[in-house]
Structure 1
Amino acid sequence: MQDLEGKTVSDKVYGYTADQAALYALSTGFGTSADPRELIFTTEASQRVSPTFLTVAIWDDTWLEREGLDLTHVVHGEQRVFLHDEPLPCGRLRGVVTIEKVFDKGRDKGALLFVRTSIYDLERNIHLADLYSTIFARGNGGFGGVDGRTPELASVPSRAPDISISQTTLPQQTLLYRLNGDKNPLHYDLDFARSAGFDKPILHGLCSFGITAASIIKASCEYDKRRLRAFGCRFTGPVFPAETIVTHVWQDGESASFRAISQERDVIVLDRGFAEFT
């Protein structure tokens, strides 16, 4: 495992269409109200792209198994998105995935990987964004490597939130979101979900991530008045289809902290969230 540190495990070119960007927007909470500003992200009229679309535009999980990770024990711990420019409604992207750090948390806990995906817009010849993921490989610890930790996400403030936004997910939310490329059966197959320890299929973590980003774009950015240039959080619990995600936001000028809960179960599902605006 230690030899993965510093290794580029994927370098691919991806094309995407305006319809794919709109599908992502629809699958992450845009288009759910009569507000005409919803159309900014869901139709071709002056179309803008949700920043978190980049998490699926360059989706590639094939390297996990290729590099010897046990897929049944891989857990997505955290996700961060940093934009250097705004995505076009359609285009071609190059995604370069590099494992920056590998930590050995012990045989009973697994390995912790800090992964960077650098994204380049080939139409404009620019460095578009950097994505950072924290991945727990629970079946790959105890290899004799060094222990350590990834960059820490800050806790949310202790005071009451400034804004709370509710978004009820659809019963078929996972079936809609999987059309973005993540076909993991955990999110639609009952038997598979039960074998993983869940009573029923769960929402994709990055779907919850995208829904929360959409909520903040609507409430804190007023759709189009400000741009979301950085966004990240820790995944702390699953969301089940048809549950309501309530995003609590603490505003601080050109940045914000957030936490998301499942309203029905009163469980934190995303925590230590941050958003930066421009």
Structure 2
Amino acid sequence: MPIDAVAAVAAEPRRAEIGWDHKDIQLYHLGLGAGSPATDPDELRYTLESRLQVLPSFATVAGAGTGMTGGLSSPGVDVDLAAVLHGGQTVRVHRPIPVRGRAVQTSKVAAVYDKGKAAVLVLRTEASDDDGPLWTNDSQIFVRGEGGFGGERGPSARPTPPDRAPDRTAERAIREDQALLYRLSGDWNPLHADPAFAELAGFDRPILHGLCTYGMTLKAVTDTLLDGDVTRIGAYSTRFAGVVFPGETLRIRMWAGDGRIQVAVSAVERDDAPVLVDTLIEHS
């Protein structure tokens, strides 16, 4: 059944109450590779409850990632999950995420775009607590074979790539078991753990979650250019351009600007194959 764009966008948001505490934050950060070296004071702000801060990308797994699931089950959306690709991600935080909290989370289809051979669903998740809005989380989901319905193509503006060498470059090794740890934050897709399932999907071994790469990149930029201070981050967006395998190394190139940092991420062992592109961090 094709996507009914009008019905999908008009549907009432799905509402859920979510909660988290320091253990959820620590598990998420460990899944991103935090804690090495374990006694490094700069790492303890991600792993030790008495010093803990929260990377804004935690919004993608808060409530075990139920926001995206709610969007894909909206009225007017009846798609084959095998045709679904996570194309991009944007998180905007309205204030620092607390280490312990409860919030009301709403999820809806904010837009449906027609890319010809595919449709793009923008799944929006918003969370608020008693003190007001916490975050807005947009997932851009490509659905192959669902385009061609005559809808708007959507925005095409992309960040202009810098024409100079990066200001900083960082490399981050991905542990062999990292996908197994990261999936404990809520994404149980066997593509990231089961070799037989990965083979059916066309990969010779399980791949790392795109949102794990997303979080690893934000941590690397925060530690390298923002003095390790997550409260300086206002928004973070990216487009997923390629897969990453556990055991590989990410090369993270950073270009600093006025209140924004552009980033490009590649896989070192595969001739710098692109992983994240059009990546932008807005900060104070």
Q: Indicate whether 1:272 and 2:273 are aligned.
A: no
Superposed CA deviations along residues 177-231 of structure 1, whole A, max 9, x for unmatched, are: 0000000111111121111111111100000000000101100111138621111
Q: SS in structure 1 opposite 2:50? A: coil
Distance in 2 between residues matched to 1:248 and 1:160, nearest whole Å: 9
Q: SS in structure 2 opposite 1:49? A: coil
CA pair 92-116 structure 1, distance change in 2 beyond 3 A: same
User: Is the Cα–Cα contact under 8 Å of residues 14 and 57 in structure 1 kept in the other structure?
Assistant: yes
1:117, distance to aligned residue in structure 2 (A): 1.2
Aligned residue number for residue 124 of structure 2: 116
1:100, distance to aligned residue in structure 2 (A): 1.6
Q: Which amino acid aligns with 2:120?
A: L
Structure 2 length-normalised TM: 0.91
Q: 1:26 aligns with which of 26, 30, 46?
A: 30
Aligned residue number for residue 19 of structure 2: 15
Aligned residue number for residue 239 of structure 1: 244
Q: SS in structure 2 opposite 1:22? A: helix
Distance in 1 between residues matched to 2:93 and 2:231, nearest whole Å: 14
Q: Indicate whether 1:76 and 2:86 are aligned.
A: yes
Structure with the higher helix share, 1 or 2 = 2
Aligned residue number for residue 166 of structure 2: 161
Q: Which amino acid aligns with 1:15?
A: G
Structure 1 length-normalised TM: 0.93
Q: 1:129 aligns with which of 135, 138, 148?
A: 135
After the TM superposition, which of the residue ranges 203-212 and 69-78 deviates more from structure 2? 69-78
Q: SS in structure 1 opposite 2:61? A: helix
Q: SS in structure 1 opposite 2:42? A: helix
1:105, distance to aligned residue in structure 2 (A): 2.8
User: Is the Cα–Cα contact under 8 Å of residues 255 and 275 in structure 1 kept in the other structure?
Assistant: yes
Aligned residue number for residue 182 of structure 2: 177
User: Is the Cα–Cα contact under 8 Å of residues 156 and 258 in structure 1 kept in the other structure?
Assistant: no
CA pair 57-225 structure 1, distance change in 2 beyond 3 A: closer
Distance in 2 between residues matched to 1:151 and 1:9, nearest whole Å: 26
Distance in 2 between residues matched to 1:225 and 1:136, nearest whole Å: 30
Q: Which amino acid aligns with 1:272?
A: D
Q: Indicate whether 1:102 and 2:112 are aligned.
A: yes
Distance in 2 between residues matched to 1:165 and 1:173, nearest whole Å: 19
Percent of pairs with identical residues: 36
Distance in 2 between residues matched to 1:32 and 1:139, nearest whole Å: 43
CA pair 253-225 structure 1, distance change in 2 beyond 3 A: farther
Distance in 2 between residues matched to 1:39 and 1:115, nearest whole Å: 33
Q: Can you give the 5+ residue segments of structure 2 that lack an aligned partner in the other structure? A: none
Aligned residue number for residue 102 of structure 2: 92
User: Is the Cα–Cα contact under 8 Å of residues 7 and 100 in structure 1 kept in the other structure?
Assistant: no
Q: 1:62 aligns with which of 42, 62, 69?
A: 69
Q: Which amino acid aligns with 1:112?
A: V
Q: Alpha carbon RMSD of aligned pairs, Å?
A: 1.7
User: Is the Cα–Cα contact under 8 Å of residues 81 and 129 in structure 1 kept in the other structure?
Assistant: yes
User: Is the Cα–Cα contact under 8 Å of residues 105 and 126 in structure 2 kept in the other structure?
Assistant: yes
1:101, distance to aligned residue in structure 2 (A): 1.3
1:262, distance to aligned residue in structure 2 (A): 0.5
Q: Which amino acid aligns with 2:21?
A: T
Distance in 2 between residues matched to 1:259 and 1:95, nearest whole Å: 31
User: Is the Cα–Cα contact under 8 Å of residues 194 and 200 in structure 1 kept in the other structure?
Assistant: yes
Distance in 1 between residues matched to 2:8 and 2:212, nearest whole Å: 28
Q: Indicate whether 1:215 and 2:215 are aligned.
A: no
User: Is the Cα–Cα contact under 8 Å of residues 33 and 178 in structure 2 kept in the other structure?
Assistant: no
